[in-house]
Every structure is written in structure tokens, then in C-alpha cells.
Structure 1
Amino acid sequence: MSYFVVGAYASQPPELDAQRRYYDLLAETGWVDGLEVPYPGQMHESFLGSLLEGRFQHSVLTAIPGTMVNVWDDPDFGLGSPTAAGRAKAMEFCAQLRNSLEAMHREHGHIFDWVALHSAPSNRSTAEDFHASLEQLLTWDWCGAKIVIEHCDERSDEHEAEKGFLLLEEELAIAQELGLHCSLNWGRSAVGSRGDIRPQQHVAQAKASGVLAGVIFSGASPQATQYGPAWIDGHLPLSLDEPASLMTPEQVAQSCALAGDVDYLGAKCCVPKDASLEQRLGMIERIYRCCQA
């Protein structure tokens, strides 16, 4: 049985009291086993632990927000950087992440089963350097959490990539060599390929490799929407809620069938700014139901 993980930070309301109620609603569903928590993001908010403690104990801590902020500031930053300085900064970032993870577990009990790391920098990462960084990170104490390589939109000779990280086959090979697993985000595979065919291909490819940890479902669009410009990692909802989204119920169901028994499936989507708590939960639940089809 796969756990179900929700990237609630993308759909949560801005007010703290409303956020608490939203997390209560997620916990009350009975089918949300964990959350995808952005680092640094929510990890620096003191109330997060109380929201997670005892009820979202199969969560994913993702490094992508902090990774991208650092890449924008320093194009050499990343675990796959061809420069020693860029890798050193990324390792220091990972040390800070690990320390936050340890503090969260110490104060609130076990919460995170997985830590998602990424093959930055953009368009410069090398498989050799990423492998070397991960090999070192595996010697650290991750407090019961497993490192997973989360695939993002990859480098391309055909268009300007948003993130431009390593190719999936490179990351899968590294995972096999180091005894790790990889996770996928449906929308990021769509953004990386500029279409809705590659996401399912990626699921099948990762599954066949034997190292697929999980799939998070968020959408993407070839046109601008209320969630941003075309072809961005904008966490679009299901097509039922945003017609421009390429992520249809059929796409989700077929991808889940290809994934089979994995550690986790999940949903992450943005919502209209004026959406009620029930509407926010409804948009997440519709993705969940497609996963059960």
C-alpha cells in the first residue's frame, strides 16, 4: 500500500488560523498520511511541528525551494555542480536541512520518512559530481529518513529549461549505484518535455529501473493561467478544476497504474486565492480519487 502525501503549502490559505483549520481538515480525511514540506519555508515556522505531530508521520521534506533560491543567487550552487565552491555551498545547505530535520524529530517525534534532494545547478550539473555529493551525504545521520532523488525538468537542447537539471536516466543510474530511489513530479516531467506524454514515460522508466519511490501529481499548462505563465512549475490543479491543465483524471489514473506499489503517491496544487477551505480540500481530493481509480 502506498502512503498518500499532500503538498499542502501550495494550497493552504495565508492566514495562520485558517492554515491550522486546513491542516485539521486534511488530517480528518483519513487518507492523508503525510505532507510534502518545503525547506526552508515552513520548517522555520514555529507552529509547523504542532500541526504535523502525531498525524502526518509519513512526510517528505523537499529541498527544492531553498535549492532554487540559491541557484538564482549563485549559478554554480548545487550538489551536481562542476565547481568545488558550488558543491560546498550545497553541502552546507544540506547540513542546515539535516539539522532542522533532527530538531523537528527531537521536538515532535518522527515526521519525515523521506528527504527529496535535487541535481542542481541549472544546465551545468554533472552526473559524476552529483554522485560524489550523494555518496558523502549517505554517510550522515538522517534521523530515520531516506534520501530520494526528486527528478525535475531536465536540461534541453530544444527549449530554455526552467530548472534544467540532470536527465532522468542519469539520476536513475546514480540511484541504482548508490542504493537510493527516485521520485517524480508529474508536472515537472510535463514542463521538461513541453507535453503530456513524457510524464507517463518517466513513470514507466523509473518503475522498470526498480528505484521508483513515489509520484507527486501537480499539473502544467502550455498557456498562461491564473497560476502563472505557460510551462512553469506552477503546481496547476487537475483539468477538472483548471481546463488548461494537461493533468487529466485519465493521466493520473494511468500513471498510478504504471507506478504500481510504491512508497508514496501524492497531490500538490495551487488554488484560486479566494477559495474556501472546503474548495481547497476538494481540489486535492479530486486528485486523490483519480489515484484510487
Structure 2
Amino acid sequence: MQYFLGAYAASPNTTGWDPDLEAAYYRSLATLDSVKGLEHPFLGQLHQYDDNWFLQQLAPHWDYVFTTIPGVMNALAQQPGFGLASTDEAGRQAALQFMRAAQQAVHKLNQHLGRRAVTAIMLHSAPARNKVAGNAECFAASLQELLSWDWQGARLLVEHCDAYLPPQVPSKGFLSLQDELVVLSQLKQQGAANLGVVINWGRSVFEGRDPTTAVQHLQAAKTAGLLAGLMFSGVSDTESEYGAWRDSHQPIRNALQPELGSPVSWLTEQQVAAALAAAAPLQALTVLGLKIGVRPHTANLAERLALLQAQLNILQQQHTAITEQGEQA
């Protein structure tokens, strides 16, 4: 069993940019047998610092899922009305221009590899609604335009982030999952087959302040016939190096090797199993994997790889158990 890995969250480049250190990190990632490919951050061009450098680091067998959330959050810091769901037309058009750059980056990566290596691109229903209004109608209009572009087979997937639920202070504060599902369902009825939803465990739990929220969101997306992915990333209400109630990609709590996990994470092995069961059949998902941050920031390369391998092992163990239960049922 292989998974997509949001490896950028565990990069040893925590301050500044050291291409030699990052190259060593990529070489190490290529040794992880359970990694089928990378969740790749898009910030406006194929690679944040150097496209050509990036293309030389890639393992030939990897596939890719682009995530636009790093670029979206950067843009929101400069232009609060930015977003595909924005009622601010200038902000909505800026988000569409950003997605045009993402489309070009997909083409560039595929051309370099000589195949359609980009499986999906995850987009988001910004802006933060506690700052600038966003609504389903504007989001639908943006998605309709995106669907008219050539993505070379990559699926357009909405990664649900925590919705704006006052008086709760949001991390992202985008549209509700219900609004996203309504928009996608309407487009699906009109013949759009390339759409779906990805549930990020930590972001759903951040929204609901309850570990069961992720399963509820998975079930809602599945009932709508739109569930296309599940990414594991933890969250906690307890202060630690990852922070309390922060979207900092906390690891799964590791019962056997506590040092290779987060002892306060709400994402336990049992929660991984529950989410996998809710998302089944897992072979139908376009995206399945994890995105894990590493603390302390001073951790060396070997320590980072040990944590990633241990986290992948937990996911694989729970995946195997769920699969075997399904076969016996």
C-alpha cells in the first residue's frame, strides 16, 4: 500500500532556503517504499524558489497532488478578498489568475516527466469569511470556469478547510462543507465528472472541536457521491511545540513509540482506523495519505525521516486492518 505524502510540512528547511539540504531530503524521501508520490505545495509557480532545481530532484515513479493552500494563504495576507468563492470580483479574478498559473505548472511538470503525473489539484473556497464575504454562487462560477480548462487529466478536488463558525476563531474560515457539497453536486448534475472533495482530518476536527467531526464530514461527502480523498493531519487542544488549536500538521499519536508521534494529538491510531472505515472503499479514493509536521524545528534529517516512516507505518497498519475486515464481512 502506498500513499501521498505532504512532505513539504516536514522539510528541514524551516528558515530560509538551502537547496543542498533540501536535495538530501528529497533523496531520503525516495527511499520510503510506501510513498507513491507527493502532495506538492503551489505558491504561484511550480516550485517556490527554483523550478529547474525542483525538476531534478524528483523520483521517476512519484505521482503528484498539488495543494494550493500555501499560495492561497499567502495571497490572503496581501489581499483579504482573494478567493474562488469571493464576492469581491477583483479578489475572485485574482484567484482565477492564480489557478491559471497552477494549470501551467501542472503542464510543465507533466511535460518534464513525459506522462500525466499530476493526479489531482486541491483547491479551496477562500476567502476567510470573517474578513470578506464568500458564497456558494461565486464559488460555482469559479469552478465552472476552471472546468473549461485543460488540466491534462488531473481531478479538481475541493479540500475542505475549517468553516467560519462565529464566535469560534477560525484557522481558515472558508465555506461550510455543506455549501461546498451543494455546489459540487449541482456541477456534477450538469455533467462535470472531474470534481470531488478531500477531507483533511485535522482541519475538519479543528472546525468541530471534536474528533468525530472528520468522520461526519467523510460520511457527508460519501453520501453526496463526492468523496475523493482523505489526508491525515492532526490537531490538539493542548499546548505543545505544535501549539493548541493550530493547523500545524500534528503527527498521529504513537502508542508503541511515543517519541515518533505527538503525545497530545487527537489523531490516534483508533481515529485513523475510524476515518479509514468511514472512507471505504479506499481503492476508490484519488488521494489518500498524510501530511505531518516535525518538532522540534531543529530535528535533523534522520530524525525527520524516522518520524515520517513511523507515521506511514501506522497508516499502513490501520489500512491493512480495515481492508481485512472488509474482506471478512
Give TM-score, length-normalised by structure 1.
0.92
Query: Secondary structure, in 3 states, of the residue corresponding to 1:121?
Result: coil
Q: Which runs of 5+ in 1 are unaligned?
A: none
Q: Which amino acid aligns with 2:124?
A: H
Q: Which runs of 5+ in 2 are unaligned?
A: 189-194, 255-260, 319-329
Query: Secondary structure, in 3 states, of the residue corresponding to 2:47?
Result: helix
Asked whether the 8 Å contact 1:5–1:33 carries over to 2, the reply is yes
Per-residue CA deviation, residues 108-148 of structure 1 (Å, 9 max, x unaligned), is 33331100100000112101110110001100011221110
| Residues in 2 aligned to 1:288 and 1:173: alpha-carbon distance in whole angstroms | 33
Asked whether the 8 Å contact 1:78–1:87 carries over to 2, the reply is yes
Give 1:290 shift: 3.0
Match of 2:47 among 40, 43, 53: 43
Moved more, 17-26 or 217-226: 17-26
| Residues in 2 aligned to 1:108 and 1:50: alpha-carbon distance in whole angstroms | 10
RMSD: 1.8
Q: Which has the larger radius of gyration?
A: 2
Per-residue CA deviation, residues 164-217 of structure 1 (Å, 9 max, x unaligned), is 111111112222222310001111111112232211211222222221111111
Residue in structure 1 matched with residue 145 of structure 2 by the alignment: 136
Asked whether the 8 Å contact 1:238–1:283 carries over to 2, the reply is no
Give 1:19 shift: 2.7
| Residues in 1 aligned to 2:272 and 2:308: alpha-carbon distance in whole angstroms | 13
Per-residue CA deviation, residues 61-86 of structure 1 (Å, 9 max, x unaligned), is 11101111111211111100012111
Cα 1:92–1:20 shift into 2, 3 Å: same
- Please say if 1:275 is aligned against 2:299: yes
Asked whether the 8 Å contact 2:253–2:263 carries over to 1, the reply is yes
Cα 1:23–1:162 shift into 2, 3 Å: same
Identity %: 37
Residue in structure 1 matched with residue 209 of structure 2 by the alignment: 194
Match of 1:85 among 76, 86, 90: 90
Residue in structure 2 matched with residue 111 of structure 1 by the alignment: 117
| Residues in 1 aligned to 2:288 and 2:301: alpha-carbon distance in whole angstroms | 22
Asked whether the 8 Å contact 1:204–1:258 carries over to 2, the reply is yes
Cα 1:208–1:286 shift into 2, 3 Å: farther
Give 1:231 shift: 1.1
| Residues in 1 aligned to 2:163 and 2:203: alpha-carbon distance in whole angstroms | 9
| Residues in 2 aligned to 1:171 and 1:32: alpha-carbon distance in whole angstroms | 29
Per-residue CA deviation, residues 227-280 of structure 1 (Å, 9 max, x unaligned), is 2x3211111111222112111111112111211122221111111223333332
Give 1:107 shift: 2.2
Give 1:53 shift: 4.9
Residue in structure 1 matched with residue 250 of structure 2 by the alignment: 236
Q: Which amino acid aligns with 2:141?
A: A
Asked whether the 8 Å contact 1:268–1:284 carries over to 2, the reply is no
| Residues in 2 aligned to 1:84 and 1:286: alpha-carbon distance in whole angstroms | 45
| Residues in 1 aligned to 2:152 and 2:232: alpha-carbon distance in whole angstroms | 27
- Which 4+ runs in 1 deviate beyond 6 A? none
| Residues in 2 aligned to 1:204 and 1:287: alpha-carbon distance in whole angstroms | 24
Q: Which amino acid aligns with 2:278?
A: L
Moved more, 212-221 or 11-20: 11-20
Match of 2:176 among 163, 167, 189: 167
Cα 1:30–1:130 shift into 2, 3 Å: same
| Residues in 2 aligned to 1:29 and 1:232: alpha-carbon distance in whole angstroms | 28
Asked whether the 8 Å contact 1:3–1:264 carries over to 2, the reply is no
Give 1:3 shift: 5.2
Q: Which amino acid aligns with 1:125?
A: G
